[in-house]
Amino acid sequence: MKYLLSAATLAVLASPALADMDAAKALVDQFTALPAFVAPGDAFDAKACMADKTMFVIPLTNANPFNAAISAGMQQAAEIVGFELRAWETQMDPTQWIQGMNTAVAEGYDLIDLQGGIPAEMLAPQIGEAQAAGVKVTATHLWDATTQTTAEFMDGAANTDYVTFGKIIAAWAIVQSGGKVNALVVGPDEIPPTAPLRDAIINYLAENCPDCKSTYINVPVNDWATLGQSAVQNALLADPSINYVLPVYDSMAQFIAPAIQIAGSSAKIVSYNGTPFVLDMMRDGDIVEMVVGESLGWVGMAGVDANMRVLCDLPKVTLLNTPAYIFTDANVATAGTPANYNDGYGDTFISGFKTLWGIE
């Protein structure tokens, strides 16, 4: 038996699948509202718990303002509660990470926090030695909360929903381009959070936008200043139809923006973090179109909250309560002039943590 299809049915079958614009718009809209504080766990007496305890924070690198700002947020939390917290100085050098571990153990700190992207596996021997000496070892803002597994040898980890950040970036590009994205995604593969961010961007485009394309370039952190600009510039010259450059971390924008200008491209930058100088770039120019950020003062306080719970034998917090928030030309002025890591998000997290810790 033969079946005849109508002309209308044939037209539908022949037409390409359309991007899921409604889903993309809904995701973007969800993160345009000012973040609200949600307690990550039960309230506790932080001052009593931390009366005789100390913390030592080792950031990925102080050369990245992102890491420096989280350390500052951690120090602010320690001052509020009233305990000693030392932030170690590093420049993306594993030997400095090891020196930090050894110093923390030698000076009798109670907890070491690997902050903002240090590959914990590289320090497994030192972590074991620290734990043998009675020191807890945790991580803040390292692993993705849903796609990555916290290393079993860690005493705790306050993780981040990197996948959602990546999806927001992709959804924004879909909405703004009308489902016609040709994206150049850029990131440093050696940093653990890169994989979930990168994959979330690429997979969201592939799954929700059949006409969208993406290409990925790996640029290690130490090569951002030397190779980042040339790699992006060459890609834009090779494919002038690229309309979005999506660095997984917005600090890369300082090297990407010149590449876009030199290549004569009209591509826009959309990224993640909320780094102040990138927000300033957005306010003062038109290359940075959107940044989805999180208050890093909030991240620092949330990391300390999770660490105190480890030291006080309370139920562990495994997900930082730091929500995503979208910055565009419409609201970037709220981040300050010049921008900073905390303005624009509201300040409910400060009073929220104080209440949670029994301080007010």
pLDDT of 121 > 80? The answer is yes
At the fourth CATH level, which superfamily is domain 46-160+295-323+346-353? Response regulator (3.40.50.2300)
- Give residue-wise pLDDT tens across range 180-194: 999 999 999 998 889
Phi, psi of 144 (to 5 degrees): -75, 140
pLDDT value at position 50?
A: 98
pLDDT of 360 > 80? The answer is no
pLDDT value at position 139?
A: 97
What's the pLDDT band for 222 if we cut at 50, 70, 90? confident
pLDDT value at position 66?
A: 86
Average pLDDT, the chain: 93
Please tell me which residue, 69 or 327, carries the higher pLDDT value: 327
- The token pair at 322 is 């730091």
pLDDT of 15 > 60? The answer is no
Contact by Cβ (8 Å): 221, 92: yes
pLDDT of 243 > 90? The answer is yes
What's the pLDDT band for 250 if we cut at 50, 70, 90? very high
The mean pLDDT value for 121-143 works out to 97
What CATH number is given for 21-34+163-293 in this structure? 3.40.50.2300
- Give residue-wise pLDDT tens across range 191-216: 888 999 999 999 999 999 999 999 99
Torsion of CA 270, 274, 278, 284, to 10 degrees: 90
Q: What is the pTM of this model?
A: 0.88
pLDDT value at position 7?
A: 45
- The token pair at 10 is 């044939």
Calpha distance 247→186 (Å, rounded): 4
* Per-residue CA distances from 229 to 4, 65, 223, 238, 252 (Å): 56, 19, 10, 14, 9
The DSSP element (H or E) to which 254 belongs, if any, is helix 253-262
End-to-end CA, the chain = 79
pLDDT value at position 17?
A: 59
DSSP string for 317-344: P-B-----EEE-TTTGGGGTTTT-SSTT
- Give residue-wise pLDDT tens across range 60-110: 999 888 899 899 999 999 999 999 999 999 998 999 999 999 999 999 999
pLDDT value at position 9?
A: 44
CATH 3.40.50.2300 in the chain is located at: 21-34+163-293, 46-160+295-323+346-353
- Give residue-wise pLDDT tens across range 155-168: 999 999 999 999 99
Tokens 């602010």 belong to which residue? 76
The mean pLDDT value for 169-177 works out to 97
